[in-house]
Amino acid sequence: MKLKLIIAGIIGIAIALAMILFSGPTIVDRPEKGTNIIAFGDSLVTGYGVTTLGDDFVSLLSKRTGRTIINAGSNGDTTASALARLDRDVLSQDPRIVIVLVGGNDALRQVPVEESFKNLVLIVDRIHEKGAAVILLGVKGSLLGDKYDSEFKKLAKEKKANFVPNILKDIFGNPEMLTDGIHPNNAGHAIMADRIEPILKKLLQ
């Protein structure tokens, strides 16, 4: 009887551990090497518009995971300018996990969608070539929707990148979540961190 109880207890623990490990988001892209976690992109990454130091989504994720995250954001970045600085700001820093958030400025500047996603493909490919995993964050080109949604999904699927669709859902267009017409405030960044955190934590297990 005692043996049966012990076996049942072991099985219960195994099931509980399996549920912890396999619950949450599906991970399709795991790092093969590298040491650093890097957030790469435009003013959404730098935290432009946040009113208190440490309340941008990158800093929040660092606090929640207990891991240093290099902020390689640059205000005004387009996919083209991000691609141009990828070597210096990401690939040279021994990346293990790279959070990629860029494309919004392309939409504002009416860069052809095909050109924007050609650049994004190159960014993702070159990060993967370094053996690092990608967490791709999608953005929409307008409040009413456009090709960005479908193109981000297609990119994530074809390149097998971890993906958070429409990172600004219910933030963009909501005055309570924005510091101006475009940039999230502290509350908006907290929501962004909430959406990225499950994937990042699972990659760090």
Tens of pLDDT, residues 21-50? 445 799 999 999 999 999 999 999 999 999
Say what the pTM is: 0.88
Mean pLDDT on 76-88? 98
Task: Tell me how far apart the alpha carbons of residues 101 and 42 are, in angstroms, rounded to a whole number.
Answer: 7
pLDDT for the residue numbered 9: 47
DSSP conformational letter for 184 = B
Helices 113-129 & 79-89 angle (0-180, nearest 10): 10
Confidence band for 3, pLDDT divided at 50, 70 and 90: low
**Domain range 29-204, its CATH number among 3.40.50.11780, 3.40.50.1110, 3.30.70.20, 3.40.50.700:** 3.40.50.1110
Structure confidence at residue 91 (pLDDT): 98
- Radius of gyration of the CA atoms of the chain, in A: 19
Mean pLDDT across 72-99: 98
Q: What is the dihedral of CA 47, 39, 84, 34, to 10 degrees?
A: 160
